Amino acid sequence: MGLLENKRALITGLISDRSIAHGIADAFHKQGAQLAFTYQSEKVKDRVCKIAEKWNSSLVYQCDVSSDENIQQVFTSLNEHWDTLDILIHSIAFAPSDQLEGDYFDCVNRDGFRIAHDVSSYSLAALAKAAHPMMKDQRGSILAMTYLGAERTVQNYNVMGVAKASLEANVRYLANSLGPKDIRVNAISAGPIRTLAASGIKDLRKMLSYYETIAPLRRKVTIEEVGDTAAFLCSDMARGITGEVIHVDAGYHIIGMPAALD
């Protein structure tokens, strides 16, 4: 029997077979979960529906998380098929491209800051609020995706790092609010992975190669590895864990001073 047998999961942020959401969906499917998905705009609807078919899911809904109406509509529609929801995956981030290149001080501006925080952090609370009626009394689990740029400065990551710090605090506050309702809230801090969103960060290639040299496991992580950790965190095996940020990054975050490079 799989870890997620009889559990229903709504997964946001799927856009390609490289998406972290894809790794999570695959792991969840292997562990017996039923899946539903959201996509950002009509432009990507067919692509996401086609990917969802491989896990036998036809529950695919449009949701731009900057719209409260969109968010509410997803749960109204989902509720017509499922009376309850066990798992909510938040795998979404966005900042305007001019924010992800160059010096933080030079490029940060009010609009970039607001958009990054709205889409990448506030949306977790907005989705949790809308999902909550279907999740209560389910031993529910909410999981967000974050990155080391929340804890340390990372070149070019800039305002996205500030938004990820907000997201991680959001995870802790939501965990405290929803704990009495038996809903756990955690995050995975993944190492860099080449996805569509990551391609927007300047010098990603350099970053990935540096990473492989420095990380204790001397390699990158994969969406499958993030997916397997997500399956564990959203299963009853992790029933004592909430408000946590788990690093799935080949150990990179523990390094203070790397060994001298040849």
Site for ligand NAD, rule CB under 6 A: 13-16, 19-21, 40, 63-66, 91-94, 119, 145-147, 190, 192-193, 195-198
We find the least distance from the C-beta atom of residue 180 to ligand NAD, in angstroms, to be: 27
Q: Which residue number, 48 or 238, has a Cβ lying nearer to ligand NAD?
A: 48
Q: What tokens does 104 get?
A: 């933080």
Amino acid identity, residue 72?
Q
Strands (E), the chain: 8-11, 34-39, 60-62, 87-90, 141-146, 184-190, 245-248
We find the least distance from the C-beta atom of residue 259 to ligand NAD, in angstroms, to be: 24
Q: Which residue number, 19 or 235, has a Cβ lying nearer to ligand NAD?
A: 19
Angle, helix 20-30 to helix 223-233, in steps of 10 degrees: 50
- Catalytic center residues: 147, 157
Angle, helix 159-178 to helix 123-135, in steps of 10 degrees: 20
Q: What tokens does 202 get?
A: 């300047």
The gap from C-alpha 226 to its chain's centroid, in whole angstroms, comes to 10
Mind giving me the DSSP string for 58-119? --EEE--TT-HHHHHHHHHHHHTT-S---EEEE------GGGSSS-HHHH--HHHHHHHHII
We find the least distance from the C-beta atom of residue 13 to ligand NAD, in angstroms, to be: 4
Q: Which residue number, 30 or 253, has a Cβ lying nearer to ligand NAD?
A: 253
Q: Which residue number, 5 or 203, has a Cβ lying nearer to ligand NAD?
A: 203
| Contact between 131 and 139 (Cβ < 8 Å) | no
We find the least distance from the C-beta atom of residue 232 to ligand NAD, in angstroms, to be: 17
We find the least distance from the C-beta atom of residue 235 to ligand NAD, in angstroms, to be: 20
Q: Which residue number, 150 or 175, has a Cβ lying nearer to ligand NAD?
A: 150
Q: What tokens does 231 get?
A: 């399956």
